[in-house]
A and B are shown apart, each in its own frame.
Chain A
Amino acid sequence: GNSVTQMEGPVTLSEEAFLTINCTYTATGYPSLFWYVQYPGEGLQLLLKATKADDKGSNKGFEATYRKETTSFHLEKGSVQVSDSAVYFCALSEDSGYSTLTFGKGTMLLVSP
Chain B
Amino acid sequence: SAVISQKPSRDICQRGTSLTIQCQVDSQVTMMFWYRQQPGQSLTLIATANQGSEATYESGFVIDKFPISRPNLTFSTLTVSNMSPEDSSIYLCSARPESGFGEQFFGPGTRLTVL
Contacts and interface: CB of A to CB of B under 8 A. Distances in A.
Contact of A43 (B1, B101, B103, B106): B106
Which size class do A's interface residues fall under?
A: 20 to 34
Interface residues of B, number: 20
Contact of B103 (A42, A49, A98, A103): A49
B106 A44 contact: yes
B25 interface: no
A32 B102 contact: yes
A101 B104 contact: yes
A17 interface: no
A26 B4 CA distance: 30
B59 interface: no
A95 B108 CA distance: 26
A73 interface: no
A46 B1 CA distance: 9
Interface in A84-113: 89, 93-95, 98-101, 103-106
A99 B103 CA distance: 10
Interface hub of A31, A36, A89 (most chain B Cβ within 10 A): A36
A30 to B, nearest CB: 11
B75 interface: no
A46 B105 contact: yes
A99 B108 CA distance: 22
A106 B42 contact: yes
Contacts of B107: 43
A51 interface: yes
Interface of B: 1, 4, 31, 33, 41-43, 45, 48, 92, 94, 101-109
What 6 A-B pairs are tightest by C-beta distance, nearest first?
A: A93-B102, A32-B101, A43-B106, A44-B106, A43-B108, A51-B101
